[in-house]
Amino acid sequence: MQLTGARIVLTGATGGLGEALARALAKKGAVLLLTGRDPDKLARLQMPAGSDYRLLQADLGTSVGIDEIVAAAQQFEADMLINNAGVGGFGLLDEQDGKEIERILRTNLEAPIQLTRSLLPQLRMRPAAAVVNIGSAFGSIPFAGFAAYSAAKAGLRGFSQALRRELADSRVEVFHIAPRAIDTPLNSPAVNALNQALGNASDSPEKVAAAIVDLLACCARERVLGFPERLFAWLNGLAPALVDGGVKGKLAVIKRHAAKKI
Ligand SMILES: NC(=O)c1ccc[n+]([C@@H]2O[C@H](COP(=O)([O-])OP(=O)(O)OC[C@H]3O[C@@H](n4cnc5c(N)ncnc54)[C@H](OP(=O)(O)O)[C@@H]3O)[C@@H](O)[C@H]2O)c1
């Protein structure tokens, strides 16, 4: 999709990936409505000189917050919605409380679905439009220690595929882009230590933002970013028992890091 002049709503713009993506899109000439929950972080966003953007504080954890984004996006005449806001969720399931599970599912899955649903009538009217869902490699390689997060991101992947098929006769494109680990505040020190212990690569937000911008301008609608993660995602779809065995071999390390709870 043409990014120059595209009017893009980006959630989670105050986060590590969100801010890098906002800058990369601005450099391509996109006009941005940047949303985040924390007003101080929003005010501190560093955008390239000359970029055309507006800021909106809204909490995706509340229906009021979602309504505020929808109203602003309608006024803004958005033709692309990037569902990027998200929260992490490392921990063994029986050690997570109900509120934490609710927050993980609400932010990573329900909020993007509700936002998309509300903005769809307006997106359908644009000459070219897109919904872009930022998933995670864990949505295709569900991982021990991340059960609720993996469930939310697998749900987002399923939502993206179903919606793409539902909108096949419209002008609205649906992208699902699933990064592997990224160096952002989403990952607690315990997650970073786990990634290091397992030898999992972690990308810079700028590298991931550049890959997303490339995909939007090109042809692929569905992509797991990084190798060997893309291979394991494919393998998990084909022979999940093989991946079960691989993850079982890492379980003791995962449990040790989950016990650190930081
Ligand atoms: N980091 C990784 O390793 C990794 C790997 C794969 C995929 N991802 C995905 O990439 C996306 C961006 O994550 P990130 O790494 O950039 O995380 P991050 O630095 O923690 O940023 C998260 C963003 O989401 C926003 N957010 C969280 N809860 C919100 C709520 N209730 N209402 C409104 N905004 C809310 C935050 O806003 P405030 O700061 O204003 O609260 C922040 O802008 C997420 O979907 C994540 O799942 C991340």
In short, whether 102's Cβ falls inside 6 Å of ligand 1 is: no
The upper half-sphere exposure of residue 203, i.e. CA atoms within 13 Å in the direction of its Cβ, equals: 20
The response to whether residue 224 sits with its C-beta less than 6 Å from ligand 1 reads no
User: 35 CA to middle of ligand 1, Å?
Assistant: 11
Report CA 141 to chain centroid distance, whole Å.
15
DSSP label of 180: -
On average, the pLDDT of the chain sits at 97
**Dist. CA 217–CA 176, nearest whole Å:** 14
pLDDT attached to residue 218: 85
Does 19 sit in the ligand 1 pocket, CB within 6 Å?
no
pLDDT(163) > 70: yes
3-state secondary structure of 52: coil
Averaged pLDDT for residues 39-60 = 97
CB burial string 199-215: b at 16+ within 10 A, e below: ebebbebbebbebbbeb
Nearest residue CA, atom 45 of ligand 1? Answer: 86
CB 87 near ligand 1, within 6 Å:
yes
- pLDDT, residue 219, reads 75
Which tokens hold the place of 56? 């909106």
Show the domains of the chain with their CATH numbers.
7-258 (3.40.50.720)
- Which DSSP letter does residue 126 get? S
Cα–Cα distance, 20 to 46 (Å, whole number): 9
Distance 241 CA to ligand 1 centre (A): 31
Each residue's pLDDT tens digit, 215-251: 998 878 999 999 999 999 999 999 999 999 999 999 9
Look at residues 73, 188, 95, 217 and name the one whose alpha carbon lies nearest to residue 148.
95
Smallest CA-to-CA distance from 171 within 228, 101, 124 is with 124
Is the CB–ligand 1 distance for residue 187 below 6 Å?
yes
pLDDT at residue number 262 = 63
* 86 touches ligand 1 (CB under 6 Å): yes
Q: What is the best residue among 34, 44, 87 to mutate for testing ligand 1's pocket, by most ligand atoms within 8 Å of CB? A: 87
The pLDDT of residue 261 is above 70: no
Q: Using an 8 Å Cβ cutoff, are 56 and 34 in contact? A: yes
Q: Does the C-beta of 115 come closer than 6 Å to ligand 1?
A: no
How far is the C-alpha of 112 from the C-alpha of 3, rounded, in Å? 21
